[in-house]
Amino acid sequence: MLVVFVVPYFSFAKSAHKLYVNDSANGTQDGSANHPFEKISQAIDKADGFNGQTDIFVSKGDYKENITIPGNVRVVGAGKGDTNIIAKDSGDAVVTMKNKSRIEGVTLKKGRVGIVVKKDAKAEIIDTLIKDNHREGIVALSASRNDDGLVSIVNTEIYDNGWSGIYSEKRKVVILNSDIKNNGRNGVAFARGVKAYFDDSSVSDNHQNGLSMILDDSSLYVASGDTFRNNKLDGIAIVSYGGTGSVVVKKSRMSENDHYGVSRIAKGNVAASVWNGVSVVDSNNYFGNGQGNISRILK
């Protein structure tokens, strides 16, 4: 099987506007470097009135708020563990992302969800820590399966969330150099129709599967250097309801999962030919999976 998947270049246009935020700001606040806003939401309100790309630079500190990042806005913190956005409303997402938005260099916690990517929105999540949210770390709503609907998750840690680390509806998703661990359900869960690419990421210690996906109308390419380890069910669980799809897993490690390294699960009357699109090649490394490396077809 030949799978061609072009990894995108993670950059939007050069910024036309810059705004600054510091949680210790007082007195005059206009968003300039000398007179920063105290809250991120103040900068977002001002950015809404601009044309073109806006960068919002957020200093080290704790920001208790829920924010919605508009299109063509990048929120850039001082780094994971330094810039912390803590949900003011624990029943809402810490961050909601609209089309062509980006978040980078922050920690997001204590919301219902860490990040919601809106329907039909392209978004970038870079160098971010998403933890201790009540449900998912990231929820990506449906979008096109081309680059217009791409969610890029790069150099990001997603752990200790109550439900799955990442849940995506039908769209395009790229996960690179990220660590997804100890989430209450699956590390990653893909609905029907997702087009996804993994590279050099670790998915471990999750309370259900490392990665769970519906095969029907979907494609998954696990490129190299990925680890699915010590998950409570399977490293990778592939579920078919009878539709075709494609899965390629190569040069990766499935180890010490309580059930299988890779499981294949048929729901209903599924033709044997459906599994022809699943290629788990010999270059993978398996070790210590409780029930075996690759399952038979499970019902």
Secondary structure letter of residue 71 according to DSSP: T
Q: What phi-psi label fits residue 181: left (phi over 0), alpha (psi between -120 and 50 degrees) or beta?
A: beta
CATH code for the domain defined by 56-298: 2.160.20.10
CA dihedral 137, 46, 49, 151 (to 10 degrees): -20
Containing 45, the helix (H) or strand (E) segment is helix 40-47
Whole-prediction pTM value? 0.95
State mean pLDDT over 9-27. Answer: 81
pLDDT tens digits, one per residue of 253-265: 999 999 999 999 9
pLDDT digits (tens, 9 = 90+) for 48-68: 888 889 999 999 999 999 999
* Contact indicator for 284, 249 with CB cutoff of 8 Å: yes
Determine the Cα–Cα distance for residues 262 and 127; give it in Å rounded to an integer: 29
The predicted-structure confidence for 68-124, as pLDDT tens digits, reads as follows 999 999 999 999 999 999 999 999 999 999 999 999 999 999 999 999 999 999 999
Hey, where are the domains in the chain? 56-298
234/246 Cα distance (integer angstroms): 19
Work out the mean pLDDT of the chain and round it to a whole number.
94
- Our measurement of the distance from residue 294's CA atom to the centroid of its chain's CA atoms, rounded to an integer in Å, reads 26
C-alpha separations of 287 from 105, 201, 235, 252, 292 in Å: 35, 18, 11, 11, 9
